[in-house]
Structure 1
Amino acid sequence: MHYPVAAVLALGALAGSICGAYIANLLPEAILRKVFSIFFVIMSIQLFWSSRKSRQKG
């Protein structure tokens, strides 16, 4: 394992979780639900297309 890379990733994850929690507290619940719904739909489509491409390649 590359410890310097892991440390940078951990710091980024920590900063992202703090910022995300702060933003989540600022947004109304209805908007937050819509944002998460859109995010999950986009990720589902991306996962579907990437799995289709990998099956076609062999």
Structure 2
Amino acid sequence: MTNRTFMTVEEVAAELDVSKSYAYKIVKQLNEELKKLGYLTVAGRVNTNYFRKKVCYSEV
């Protein structure tokens, strides 16, 4: 995995070892949380740092 700002649905699915359809649900949920916090989101992508924080990979 490279150091990129956003992760694609495919990368989320591979990282969590889940189906693409489930990864879409995860990305959508995380993006909804980010929108409520006032952040701009990109459909089908999620901020890498936020993803890692929510799945307990990082304290960032």
If asked which structure has higher relative contact order (CA below 8 Å, sep 6+), I would say 2
Structure in which a larger fraction of residues adopt strand: 2
User: Fold-level match, TM-score > 0.5?
Assistant: no
Q: Name the one with the larger helix percent.
A: 1
User: Given the two structures, how large is their TM-score scaled by the length of structure 1?
Assistant: 0.40
